Amino acid sequence: MTEHDPPPDYAAIRDLFRNVGIINQLAGAVARRALGSSVVGGAGMGTSEMMVLGRSIRMGDGETPTRLARLFQLSKPSMSAIITKLGRKGFVELRADTGDARSKRVYVTETGRAAHAAAEAQLNTAMVRELAGVDVAAILSAAPGIALLKGHMDERRNAVDGL
């Protein structure tokens, strides 16, 4: 905290943030198009739904909506909406938490797992197509700095909000 800040390079930092914003937007568009339709359960899947499904499959399901909201830095109402959509498609199931009647637990159904696998294949295909002809290693060289920045902002935000 208490540091002798050297004059920060505003322009370079602003550029970085702006490029991050543009990448995010373009990547979102690509992902949306890839997921837009034709996923197993019919009707397609939003990128946020995909993220939640993926995390629940890879890291284990049974999380509460609030915990998922924090994990993805989304507000509780947003996560609530995402889970509702996943539920309507039959991709997740909400069960009551035995022992805390306020809480719910999110479980991925078999249908959900299949839909996620199909969607992930489409995403990977789109990603390969999107990155065709680019120096992937050069791009991945940005990963440590980006991870650092993300970690720092995460912490700060959590500090401000009191987790």
Partner DNA sequence: CGCATATAGTTAGTTAGCGAACTAATTTAA
Partner DNA sequence: TTAAATTAGTTCGCTAACTAACTATATGCG
Minimum Å gap between C-beta 83 and DNA is 6
**Which of 77, 106, 110, 103 is closest to 94 using CA atoms?**
106
Which string of x and - marks every residue 18-47 that binds DNA (by CB under 7 A)? -------x---x----------------xx
Q: Which does 19 bind (CB under 5 to 8 A by kind): DNA, a copy of itself, none?
A: a copy of itself
- Which amino acid type is present at position 65? P
Sign, CA torsion 71/76/78/84: positive
SS3 state at 63: strand
φ and ψ at residue 100, rounded to 5 degrees: -140, 100
Query: How many whole angstroms separate alpha carbon 50 and alpha carbon 61?
Result: 14
Contacts of range 78-82, beta carbons closer than 8 Å, 24 or more positions apart:
78/48, 79/52, 82/46, 82/48, 82/49, 82/52
Q: Which does 46 bind (CB under 5 to 8 A by kind): DNA, a copy of itself, none?
A: DNA
Tokens of 42: 């019919």
Minimum Å gap between C-beta 130 and a copy of itself is 6
Q: Which does 67 bind (CB under 5 to 8 A by kind): DNA, a copy of itself, none?
A: DNA
Q: Which residue stretch of 3-11, 79-87, 108-116, 130-138 sits at the interface with DNA (rule: CB under 7 A)?
A: 79-87
Minimum Å gap between C-beta 123 and DNA is 15
Residues that bind a copy of itself (CB under 8 A): 1, 3, 5-6, 8-10, 12-30, 51, 72-73, 124, 127-128, 130-136, 138-150, 152-154, 156-157
Residues that bind DNA (CB under 7 A): 25, 29, 46-48, 64-67, 73-78, 80-85, 94, 97, 99-104
